[in-house]
Amino acid sequence: MNPKMITENLEAIRKNSPLVHNITNYVVMNNTANALLAIGASPVMAHAQEEVKDMVGIASALVLNMGTLSKEWVESMIIAGLRANERKIPIVFDPVGAGATAYRNEIATRIINNCNPEIIRGNASEIMALVNQEMKTKGVDSVVSTKSALDSAKYLAQLHECIVVISGEVDYITDGNRVERVAFGNSMMEKVTGMGCTATALLGAFVATNDNLFEAAVNGMTVMGITGELASAKANGPGSMQMHFLDCLYKLSEVEIEQAFCTVE
């Protein structure tokens, strides 16, 4: 992980403006569409069973998010996921609220087993719930630290041959063997709805423009964290945080990325 590598991935997004197809939840659609636009990608939200195959057919990545799931949307996610597999475009899956209800656990398992996502991103409670379905989540918020979910993440990554991202105060990215730790970010991010979902959506843009998916995941979470730090330095609360996040993401420069790394070390 170094600033150069991250900047190159960011530049590739801005240059190629990849079409990222999102089947996501009602709460965050506006946020994630705006974050994808701010980073330079081209978002599209479409969920009708009649058209998701066609939409995946022109997309460079597929983002599936089960935040406000329902039966029909789940079927659309699976149709879209199978088409993404056919086209070999990457899928990023966000198991929002896994552990909160039996239905969420069932659907998360079904999506993972059917669609084989390249990346699964969740908070610690959600990742643990995917492995141990007795694990409880408080709605959509985590009740455990990311560190405590690391074993579950590794197990999940090995089982499904994918990359698992646990996001929180410290993020962990693992492919089952390697583990990368990203410690950027600010606690104000937890006070804005859909920040986790935004991370997932942005990962869609990173994997759409970087064949090294592990690197793309690390880059994406680093950009998310650094942007969160820059925005929180300007924010007076969660309302202005949301605004500054988009402004900072739009303007994020190589120098800012380098400076963030210097501050950490």
Binding site for a second copy (CB under 8 A): 19, 21, 25-31, 33-34, 37-38, 42-48, 50-51, 54-55, 58-59, 67-72, 97, 100-104, 136, 138-141, 190-194, 235-240, 242-251
In terms of CB distance, is 127 or 218 closer to a second copy?
127
Shortest approach of a second copy to residue 139 CB, angstroms?
A: 3
In terms of CB distance, is 2 or 145 closer to a second copy?
145
In terms of CB distance, is 168 or 194 closer to a second copy?
194
Alpha helices in 132-191 (DSSP H): 150-160
Q: Which amino acid is at 102?
A: A
Query: Is 121 known as a binding-site position?
Result: yes
Residue burial 100-114, b: 16+ Cβ < 10 Å; e: rest? beeebbebbeebbee
In terms of CB distance, is 97 or 214 closer to a second copy?
97
Shortest approach of a second copy to residue 60 CB, angstroms?
A: 10
Q: Which of 178, 179, 188, 180 is nearest to 229 (CA)?
A: 188
Residues 138, 22: Cα–Cα separation, whole Å: 25
Q: Which amino acid is at 241?
A: M
Q: Which of 109, 84, 70 is nearest to 22 (CA)?
A: 84
In terms of CB distance, is 42 or 146 closer to a second copy?
42
Contact partners, residue 126, CB within 8 Å, separation at least 6: 95, 96, 97, 98, 99, 137, 142
Shortest approach of a second copy to residue 167 CB, angstroms?
A: 16
Q: Which two tokens stand for residue 238?
A: 């969660």
Query: Is 55 known as a binding-site position?
Result: no
Shortest approach of a second copy to residue 247 CB, angstroms?
A: 3
**How many CA atoms within 13 Å lie on the side-chain side of 85?**
13
Query: Is 194 known as a binding-site position?
Result: yes
* Distance (Å) of CA 131 to CA 43, 106, 248: 31, 12, 36
Shortest approach of a second copy to residue 129 CB, angstroms?
A: 13
* Distance (Å) of CA 210 to CA 13, 69, 103, 136: 9, 29, 34, 35
Shortest approach of a second copy to residue 170 CB, angstroms?
A: 21
In terms of CB distance, is 31 or 146 closer to a second copy?
31
Shortest approach of a second copy to residue 20 CB, angstroms?
A: 8
- Burial class from Cβ neighbours inside 10 Å (0-12, 13-18, 19+) for residue 15 reads exposed
In terms of CB distance, is 173 or 207 closer to a second copy?
207
The binding site for ATP comprises 121, 167
The binding site comprises 45, 121, 167, 194
The binding site for substrate comprises 45, 194
